[in-house]
Amino acid sequence: MRELHIASRRVADDTAPYVIAEIGHNHGGSLEQAEELFRQAAAAGASAAKLQKRDNRSLFTRAMYDQPYEGRNSYGPTYGKHREALEFGRAEYVHLAKVAAEVGIDFFSTAFDLPSVDFLVELGMPAIKIASADVTNTPLLSYAAKTGKTLIVSTGGASMDEVRLAVDTVLPLNPNLALLQCTAVYPAAPADLNLSVIDTYRNEFPDVVIGFSGHDLGPDLSFIAHALGARVIEKHFTLDRTLPGTDHAFSLDPGQLTDLVAGLERTRASLGSPVKVCSDTEAPAVRKMGKKLVAASDLPVGHVLTERDIACKSPGDGLKPYQLDLVLGRALLLPLKTDDNIRLQDLAEPADFEPPAQRPVAIGEGFVAY
């Protein structure tokens, strides 16, 4: 069955979407800012708040770590110093875990390397996210899968064969997998999203929960993703889209995150049941505007019905027009006035029709009429 669990929440085709507020490093290295982001995400109705965890010294080459990194989005003179300024350690994670429990939101993180997997497991995170950049990193996928934690894997920039390889790496070790359609463009235009891949994933991986990680602007296209079958929805989240940092501009602010959650609820409600029926709410309108079979004119007992004897009129509280063939060629067991309902129980086959017995009437001495 296509389902997984994150903390106490079950995620499956028959559940509400699991909404991840991807904070990443939009806290700017401030624990106070991160705490407010957690509180705002919970207030907006998100299921989870998520950070990113890197072991920066082991993750980057020395040249990349030491390269100059200057500009509006920089938090340090080199790329390594920039990343270190944004990195939270154990104390910050423990504090934020308490905040998450207080406001009733799940908390986990993306692991970009093996030490970060160990860090998150030690803290008891309920899930581990694997970024699009690591969908081809089978050693990391395998290492994370062996923890038994639910894995949420984004697939931006990957080919279908690479996605298959990622799934084949994880599933033999851990069935708790969500696979997210994603486009590694920041921000992504609508034409970049390829939301139809959600359907491809659902057909190719029938036992895997499918989702959408969107770098598009605003919440609207996530509703389409959900309608196509995405049950995990991840969007970047910020308190202020004008703040310095590469992710703020395409992140949702608190009002937009609230709109996302509410819109997903409306989308789910509008999808309803796959079984086509006339619902209780439709029934009054169907009765008022629908049609039924009625007598087109006054008709006597024994009359054999033809098409010109029958009209289709509202309200629709009798035989449906498609039941016309059930009444044609049958004899009336009782007379009908114009607009009377034609009912199956009032009809007989012509060969079976017997005129009602006639009572003799005296017309003179010794004579009777029938």
Examine the domain organization and report whether 99 and 209 are in the same domain. yes
Query: What residues contact 284, with CB distance under 8 A and at least 6 apart?
Result: none
pTM (whole model) above 0.85: yes
3-state class (DSSP) for residue 312: strand
Q: Pairing state of beta strands 177-182 and 3-6?
A: unpaired
**How many structural domains is the chain composed of?**
2
Query: Is 182 part of any domain?
Result: yes
Question: By the 8 A CB rule, do 330 and 302 touch?
Answer: no
The answer on 165 and 67 residing in a single domain is yes
Do 252 and 134 share a structural domain? yes
Is 249 inside a domain boundary?
yes
pLDDT of res. 249: 93
Residue 369, domain member (yes or no):
no
Check whether residue 260 and residue 120 sit in a common domain.
yes
Residue 332: which CATH number?
Answer: 3.90.1210.10
Mark which of 271, 304, 328 sits at the end of a domain: 271
Residue type, 363: I
Per the structure, the complete domain to which residue 156 belongs is given by 9-271
Per-residue pLDDT of the chain (370 residues; tens, 9 = 90+): 799 999 999 999 999 999 999 999 999 999 999 999 999 999 999 999 999 999 999 999 999 999 999 888 899 999 999 999 899 999 999 999 999 999 999 999 999 999 999 999 999 999 999 999 999 999 999 999 999 999 999 999 999 999 999 999 999 999 999 999 999 999 999 999 999 999 999 999 999 999 999 999 999 999 999 999 999 999 999 999 999 888 999 999 999 999 999 999 999 999 999 999 999 999 999 999 999 999 999 999 999 999 999 999 999 999 999 999 999 999 999 999 999 999 999 999 877 766 666 555 555 555 444 5
Residues 6+ positions from 10 with CB-CB distance below 8 Å:
3, 4
